[in-house]
């Protein structure tokens, strides 16, 4: 540990941090220089204008609305003491950001997560897990909104800027609500139905698990419970059929009618979209899309195996898009863990008004999956 570059770089930056109150600009320059030499990638955010926007806004807003106004700039009164106070806060904030950027640079979070579990530091492990989920979403929201603002003709319009700021806050609030859902709580399809129906909002339920974990059995149990309660449910699930131990295919089955069409096979086809070892029949997706209007009256709609094709606006995405634009319902999508973050970001940006839930199916299906 004592010989690591991260240790010595962090120690030097820590010394600069202790001197920052007495020599703010000199210390900040030393911190940035130390971090840049040790880990150049930590300075990448400083090159982007959007990194500085919130810092500059806060620096300017604080002296305008707080403290005693004792100076004027371009006809606007402001507090010099509050200006220098906010400037000092900004400098310390940038310095601390660089310190943690160096401290966490090139860290293997999975390895640390295992160590935390061995030491029974479950809270730290949970913080890492939540952080890995939160930061990509926040970054996605920030980048999307910044792209909209940058290309707008109303860039200098205060009302427009205030409106976009409110939209970003609403996005962050929605993200916070999603992350406030209880973790590691066993739930059955019956409890899932009660939980979703008790909320005054449309929901998207993500059922995630590796191949063979039991996603489809959990969904089939959900369908059975919905039908018992006379709740209208429809959509499409995939049924696996084996030719032999190493060759199989799937059928796409309509839930309400039992109609089915061949969905994919392992036989190569040049005209068919491919995902992994499967070649998909476009005609199956066209068939599903043509039945979209018949799903409008359903309270729950299920789409099994939502994957990479849908993320690229193919597969069952047209079905999903038509359903959401034409009806108010609860959606259930089964996905693989490998694309979970992509799907979550995709759904959050595409359907921002929907409440999100996540079911982790424990292999093999035991009717006690985990909800987040």
Query: Is 23 strand, coil or helix?
Result: coil
Checking if the pLDDT of 288 tops 80, the result is yes
User: Would you state the pLDDT for residue 53?
Assistant: 83
- The percent of residues in the chain predicted with pLDDT above 90, rounded, is 6
Which one of 107, 139, 158 terminates a domain? Answer: 107
Query: Is 251 strand, coil or helix?
Result: strand
The C-alpha atoms of residue 84 and residue 9 are separated, in whole angstroms, by 29
User: Would you state the pLDDT for residue 141?
Assistant: 63
279: left (phi over 0), alpha (psi -120 to 50) or beta: beta
Same domain? 138 vs 222? no
Provide the b/e sequence for 297-308 (b: ≥16 CB within 10 Å). ebebbbbbbbbb
Question: Residue written as tokens 């603002």?
Answer: 149
Question: Residue written as tokens 């911190």?
Answer: 31
- The percent of residues in the chain predicted with pLDDT above 70, rounded, is 67
User: Would you state the pLDDT for residue 56?
Assistant: 86
User: Would you state the pLDDT for residue 1?
Assistant: 43
In the predicted model, what is the mean pLDDT of residues 26-32?
Answer: 92
User: Would you state the pLDDT for residue 171?
Assistant: 63
Checking if the pLDDT of 170 tops 80, the result is no
Same domain? 169 vs 192? no
User: Would you state the pLDDT for residue 29?
Assistant: 92
Checking if the pLDDT of 13 tops 80, the result is yes
User: Would you state the pLDDT for residue 168?
Assistant: 64
Checking if the pLDDT of 111 tops 60, the result is no
Same domain? 217 vs 227? yes
The parent domain of residue 123 ranges over 109-180
Checking if the pLDDT of 2 tops 80, the result is no
Preceding amide of 364 cis, omega within 30? yes
Same domain? 96 vs 114? no
112: left (phi over 0), alpha (psi -120 to 50) or beta: alpha
367: left (phi over 0), alpha (psi -120 to 50) or beta: left
Greatest mean pLDDT range, 259-263, 277-281, 344-348: 259-263
Same domain? 157 vs 73? no
User: Would you state the pLDDT for residue 372?
Assistant: 46
User: Would you state the pLDDT for residue 289?
Assistant: 86
Same domain? 192 vs 212? yes
Average pLDDT of every residue of the chain = 76
Lookup: tokens for 342: 């992509």
Looking up residue 336, the CATH number of its domain turns out to be 3.40.50.300
In the predicted model, what is the mean pLDDT of residues 21-48?
Answer: 89
pLDDT 10s digits, 137-150 = 666 666 666 666 66
Lookup: tokens for 309: 């094709």
Query: Helix crossing, 109-118 with 122-150: angle to 10°?
Result: 150
Query: Is 314 strand, coil or helix?
Result: coil
Question: What is the band of 130 on the pLDDT scale with cuts at 50, 70, 90?
Answer: low
- CB within 8 Å of 315: residues ≥ 6 apart: 273, 280, 285, 306, 307, 309
pLDDT 10s digits, 334-355 = 887 777 777 777 777 777 767 7
Same domain? 240 vs 342? yes
User: Would you state the pLDDT for residue 285?
Assistant: 87
| Beta-carbon count within 10 A of 191 CB | 13
Write the DSSP assignment of 66-127 as a string of letters.
SS---EEETTEEE-HHHHHHHHHHHHHHHHHHHHHHHHTTT--HHHHHHHHHHTT-HHHHHH
In the predicted model, what is the mean pLDDT of residues 171-187?
Answer: 51
Into how many domains does the chain fold? 3
User: Would you state the pLDDT for residue 181?
Assistant: 45
The C-alpha atoms of residue 134 and residue 175 are separated, in whole angstroms, by 8
Query: Is 6 strand, coil or helix?
Result: helix
Question: What is the band of 127 on the pLDDT scale with cuts at 50, 70, 90?
Answer: low
User: Would you state the pLDDT for residue 124?
Assistant: 56
In the predicted model, what is the mean pLDDT of residues 181-208?
Answer: 71
User: Would you state the pLDDT for residue 33?
Assistant: 93
What Rg do the C-alpha atoms of the chain give, in angstroms?
26
Which one of 146, 161, 180 terminates a domain? Answer: 180
User: Would you state the pLDDT for residue 196?
Assistant: 81
The count of C-alpha atoms lying within 13 angstroms of the C-alpha of 112, restricted to the half-sphere facing its C-beta, is: 13
Same domain? 144 vs 259? no
Same domain? 291 vs 301? yes
User: Would you state the pLDDT for residue 370?
Assistant: 45
Same domain? 197 vs 315? yes
Identify which has the larger pLDDT, 329 or 129: 329
User: Would you state the pLDDT for residue 31?
Assistant: 92
Checking if the pLDDT of 93 tops 80, the result is yes
Contact 310, 320 (CB under 8 A): yes
Same domain? 126 vs 34? no
Is 333 buried (19+), middle (13-18) or exposed (0-12) by CB count in 10 A?
Answer: buried
The C-alpha atoms of residue 356 and residue 137 are separated, in whole angstroms, by 14
User: Would you state the pLDDT for residue 32?
Assistant: 92
Same domain? 64 vs 163? no
pLDDT 10s digits, 289-314 = 888 878 878 889 898 878 778 877 78
Which one of 107, 123, 144 terminates a domain? Answer: 107
């Amino acid at each position: 540990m004592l010989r690591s570059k991260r240790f010595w770089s962090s120690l030097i930056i820590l010394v600069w941090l202790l001197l920052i109150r007495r020599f703010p600009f000199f210390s900040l320059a030393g911190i940035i220089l130390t971090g840049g030499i040790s880990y150049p990638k930590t300075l990448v955010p400083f090159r982007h204008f959007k990194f500085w926007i919130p810092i500059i806004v806060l620096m300017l807003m604080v002296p305008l609305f707080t403290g005693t106004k004792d100076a004027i700039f371009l006809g606007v009164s402001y507090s010099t003491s509050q200006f220098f106070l906010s400037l000092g806060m900004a400098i310390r904030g940038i310095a601390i950001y660089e310190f943690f950027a160096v401290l966490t640079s090139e860290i293997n979070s999975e390895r640390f997560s295992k160590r935390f579990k061995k030491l029974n530091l479950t809270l730290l492990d949970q913080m890492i897990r939540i952080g890995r989920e939160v930061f990509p979403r926040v970054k996605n929201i920030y980048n999307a909104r910044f792209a909209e603002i940058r290309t707008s003709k109303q860039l200098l319009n205060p009302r427009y800027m205030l409106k976009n700021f409110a939209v970003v806050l609403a996005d962050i609030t929605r993200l916070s609500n999603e992350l406030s859902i209880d973790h590691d709580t066993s739930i059955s399809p019956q409890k899932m139905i009660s939980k979703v129906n008790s909320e005054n909002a449309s929901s998207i339920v993500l059922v995630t698990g590796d191949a063979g974990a039991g996603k489809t059995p959990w969904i089939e149990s959900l369908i059975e419970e919905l039908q018992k309660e006379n709740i209208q449910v429809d959509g499409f699930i995939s049924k696996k059929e084996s030719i032999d131990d190493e060759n199989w295919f799937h059928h796409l089955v309509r839930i309400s009618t039992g109609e089915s069409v061949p969905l994919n096979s392992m036989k190569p086809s040049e005209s068919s979209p491919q995902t992994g070892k499967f070649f998909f029949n476009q005609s199956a997706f066209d068939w599903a899309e043509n039945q979209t209007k018949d799903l409008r009256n359903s309270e729950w709609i299920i789409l099994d195996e939502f994957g990479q094709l849908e993320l690229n606006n193919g597969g069952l995405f047209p079905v999903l898009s038509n359903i959401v634009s034409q009806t108010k319902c609860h959606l259930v999508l089964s996905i693989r863990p490998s694309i979970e973050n992509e799907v979550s970001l995709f759904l959050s940006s595409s359907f921002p008004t929907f409440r999100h839930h996540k079911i982790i199916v424990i292999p093999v299906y035991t009717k006690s999956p985990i909800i987040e």
